[in-house]
Amino acid sequence: MDARHAILFEPVRIGPKTLPNRFYQVPHASGFGSAKPRTQAAFRAVKAEGGWGGVCVEYAPISQDSDEIPAIGADIWDDRDARALGVSAEAIHAHGALAGLELYHGGWSSPNGSSRAVRLAPSQLTSQLQWGGLAKEMDSADIARVQRDWVGAARRARDVGFDIVYVYGAHGYLMTQFLSAHANRRTDGYGGSLANRGRFWLETLAAVRDAVGGDCAIATRIAVHGDSGVPGAEGLPGIHIDDMLALVKMADDLVDLWDVTVGSWPEDSGTSRYYPEGHERPWAHRVKEVTAKPVVSVGRYSSPDLMAEVIRSGAVDLIGSARQAIADPFLPRKITEGRLDEIRECTGSNVCILREETFNHVGCVQNATAGEEYRRGWHPESFPAAADTGRSVLIVGAGPAGMECAVVLGKRGFTAVHLVEAEPEIGGRLRWARRLPTLGNWGRIIDWRAVQLARLPGVQVITGRRLAAADVLEYGADLVVIATGSAWRGDGVQPGYPDPMPGADPGLPHVLTPEQACAGKRPPGPRVVVYDTDGYYVAPGVAELLAAEGFEVTVITTFSVLSPVSDQTLEGDMLRAHLHRAGVSVSHATTITGIGAGSVTGHDRHGEPWSAACDAIVLVTQQVSQGTLYTELADGQALAAAGISGLYRIGDAVAPRMISEAIFDGHRLAREIDAEDPAQPSPYRRERADPA
């Protein structure tokens, strides 16, 4: 280990417990909750194994009036829930780390859609979810009962082995609702002055400390006001820093660990598009200055040097991590072992959040094994040797899927893997995507794999060589994997319109595909329409690129908001504000069905005719697999004659999809290459209620 990094490995005392080092995986959602006990345990345990000294399970609702369905939380309403979570505590302990549980009440943010309990809040105001029910203004019996529930949950957490219990006070949930003068309009002892607004939180801290403070460290998570200016999904900004510092002083005796978050969730989990590494540091430092207790804060830290410097500067005591610990559970171990170039850096794309929020199962674009530890038995650093590693493998296409497949085959011991790419560089669609404004850090997907590929003795990367079917047959490979990716359609085919759009011909000067725009093709006049039926990053990226060059850009989108997928990655509000500042106009809920000379035509949200004058259009409608090579090869006789015993397709060549899923697909094929039918994903373990 580099001596500069030794400070990261100092133990830190928190209340009655001692963290073995300064690496702390903060509580973050996974979609596993207490519903998938073994999945949860395996997901957290691998972080402890990788060297994180503290590992927390996610938010743990304490009662049925904090029911988060359809989201999955680590419900700890009763002893059976607690036993399910205890599986994680045990698994974390097995690797010498401390286990934390984030006891939680959502207040007005809890949908309670399954429990049907009334929502609770300090005052009968509303989040954006009001159609599901406004909140009950908590009376004194409610306040006392929620505090009893918190204590009960803390006892249960302690009894099943957790070392750290939280009084979760951040992100706009119940504690913050009490703290916020905006949300708390009470006239009793729990409203009005700062001390009164903080009373519910301080009382709860005291009660939890009384109950379990001798056995557990008491952590609390707070949200200080940040600078995003957007209210965020929870409908509440953080508390202003001056107020929060006053409260920290009031509560300091009751707390063993301050977990500092900044602003709303979209700011706290700020993506690399809009926030640099360490963006929360100044705020955490302010808290650190007024407390005698350890402070942890996140900030998408992936650089060991920066981490060490942040500790030395006195900004925080622990390096908090959620996304980086997903991307590389073994980051601490790699630092101790001096294997810095093996750190799989988080891209900051928030695909983990998209997957967890949308599908209740976390995933990662960098680490295909994230969330697959239990159900598929995958480990991020361990690769069982394949059955016959002498088989030669030809992978055609070095995009995300092809790169990943080659890396995993190499790690499984294959000795003759050729990764052949037609372009001069590896990376596939990421070659141009990483050059779109704000997307630079997505290039880490290529960079990490490039380093790995260079080190694997069994893998050879060959660029600038385009293989036709005959070339593949003559290549001499035993196994062939087609990873030729996808392209954006230039013919205007879009959802609901399977036939080409009249006038959509990217051979014309005024019709562009995204790839053409990135490769330098430019509109023949100043007024450009970017037409988006995709809804994610490509249309905004191309729009910003052209706007920065002085084009008058209008995004026409079939969606009701620009880039709805960016809302799943918490980027939506920031992205839209960013493009507005960049001078990009947007028309919503509009469909283009024809491209003419100097104009585009279609219809509006009501089906009424619509048209706009423009000098060019960029079509971000739909992708299409580049599958010809596979189709030409998929002839059993020719393959057999060429000595090819297996032909497979992975990634976008099968079906265009998110980059994380293309990488997963390449990883999966390499992991399951010895299965009876490697083309078909093997069954995986599912945690289910007992049928009888």
Burial class, 641, CB count within 10 angstroms (exposed 0-12 / middle 13-18 / buried 19+): exposed
Question: Closest approach of Cβ 606 to a second copy, in Å?
Answer: 5
Residues ≥6 apart with Cβ < 8 Å to 91: 41, 42, 44, 45, 48
Using CB under 8 A as the binding rule, the residues of this chain from 501 to 540 that contact a second copy are: 533-536
Select from 64, 303, 389, 599 the one that contacts a second copy (CB under 8 A): 64
Question: Closest approach of Cβ 648 to a second copy, in Å?
Answer: 12
Select from 495, 500, 526, 598 the one that contacts a second copy (CB under 8 A): 495
Contact criterion met (CB below 8 Å) for 74 and 100: no
State which residue, 34 or 204, has the beta carbon closest to a second copy.
34
Distance CA 428, CA 431 (A): 6
Using CB under 8 A as the binding rule, the residues of this chain from 65 to 84 that contact a second copy are: 69-70, 77-78, 80-81, 83-84
Question: Closest approach of Cβ 23 to a second copy, in Å?
Answer: 28
State which residue, 450 or 482, has the beta carbon closest to a second copy.
482
Question: Closest approach of Cβ 631 to a second copy, in Å?
Answer: 9
Q: 434 to each of 441, 468, 547, 651, how far by Cα in Å?
A: 7, 28, 18, 18
Using CB under 8 A as the binding rule, the residues of this chain from 24 to 43 that contact a second copy are: 34-37
Catalytic residue, candidates 24, 59, 104, 173: 173
Give strand pairing partners of 104.
61
Using CB under 8 A as the binding rule, the residues of this chain from 231 to 290 that contact a second copy are: 231, 235
Distance CA 98, CA 119 (A): 33
Using CB under 8 A as the binding rule, the residues of this chain from 662 to 681 that contact a second copy are: 664-665, 668, 679-681
Distance CA 237, CA 228 (A): 9
State which residue, 160 or 512, has the beta carbon closest to a second copy.
160
State which residue, 83 or 527, has the beta carbon closest to a second copy.
83
Using CB under 8 A as the binding rule, the residues of this chain from 597 to 636 that contact a second copy are: 605-606, 622-625, 627, 634
DSSP H or E stretch at residue 355 = helix 351-359
**Through-space distance between the first and last CA atoms of the chain, rounded to whole angstroms:** 54
State which residue, 118 or 385, has the beta carbon closest to a second copy.
118
* Number of CB atoms found within 10 A of residue 229's CB: 12
> Does 468 participate in binding a second copy (rule CB under 8 A)?
no
Please say if 173 is a catalytic residue: yes
What is the DSSP code (8-state) at residue 686? -
- CA angle 87/689/27 to nearest 5° reads 40
Question: Closest approach of Cβ 149 to a second copy, in Å?
Answer: 10
Distance CA 615, CA 456 (A): 50
Q: What is the dihedral of CA 53, 58, 59, 60, to 10 degrees?
A: -90
State which residue, 306 or 582, has the beta carbon closest to a second copy.
582
Using CB under 8 A as the binding rule, the residues of this chain from 551 to 590 that contact a second copy are: 560-561, 565, 576-577, 580, 588-589
State which residue, 18 or 124, has the beta carbon closest to a second copy.
124
Write the DSSP assignment of 574-640 as a string of letters. Answer: HHHHHHHHTT-EEE-S-EEEEE-SSEEEEE-TTS-EEEEE-SEEEEES-EEE--HHHHHH--HHHHH
Put residue 227 in one of left, alpha, beta given phi > 0 → left and psi -120 to 50 → alpha. Answer: alpha
Distance CA 446, CA 456 (A): 15
Using CB under 8 A as the binding rule, the residues of this chain from 336 to 395 that contact a second copy are: 355, 358-361, 363
Question: Closest approach of Cβ 428 to a second copy, in Å?
Answer: 16
State which residue, 151 or 654, has the beta carbon closest to a second copy.
654
Q: What are phi and psi of 512, to 5 degrees?
A: -125, 145
State which residue, 99 or 315, has the beta carbon closest to a second copy.
99
Distance CA 409, CA 479 (A): 12
Question: Closest approach of Cβ 8 to a second copy, in Å?
Answer: 34
- Per-residue binder mask for a second copy (CB under 8 A), 100-139, x = binder: -----------x-xxxxxxx---xxxxxx-xxxxxxxx-x
Residues ≥6 apart with Cβ < 8 Å to 497: 593
Please tell me the count of residues contacting a second copy according to CB under 8 A.
96
Question: How many Cα atoms occupy the beta-carbon half-sphere of 329 within 13 Å?
Answer: 24
Question: Closest approach of Cβ 235 to a second copy, in Å?
Answer: 6
- Per-residue binder mask for a second copy (CB under 8 A), 177-216, x = binder: -----xx-x-------------------------------
Using CB under 8 A as the binding rule, the residues of this chain from 399 to 458 that contact a second copy are: none
CA 96 to chain centre: 27
State which residue, 463 or 631, has the beta carbon closest to a second copy.
631
Written as one letter, the residue type at 230 is V
State which residue, 523 or 656, has the beta carbon closest to a second copy.
656
Q: Burial code of 331-347, b = ≥16 C-beta within 10 A, e = fewer?
A: bbbbbeeeeeebbbbbb
Q: What is the dihedral of CA 124, 126, 130, 134, to 10 degrees?
A: -10
Question: Closest approach of Cβ 559 to a second copy, in Å?
Answer: 9
Give the three-state DSSP class for 542: helix
Looking at 600-658, list the stretches that DSSP marks H as alpha helix, in order from N- to C-terminal side: 628-633, 636-641
Closest CA to 170 of 54, 322, 306: 322
Dmax (CA) of the chain:
85
Using CB under 8 A as the binding rule, the residues of this chain from 215 to 234 that contact a second copy are: 231
Question: Closest approach of Cβ 112 to a second copy, in Å?
Answer: 9
**Which tokens belong to 102?**
């984030």
Select from 12, 76, 87, 670 the one that contacts a second copy (CB under 8 A): 87
* Residues belonging to the active site: 173
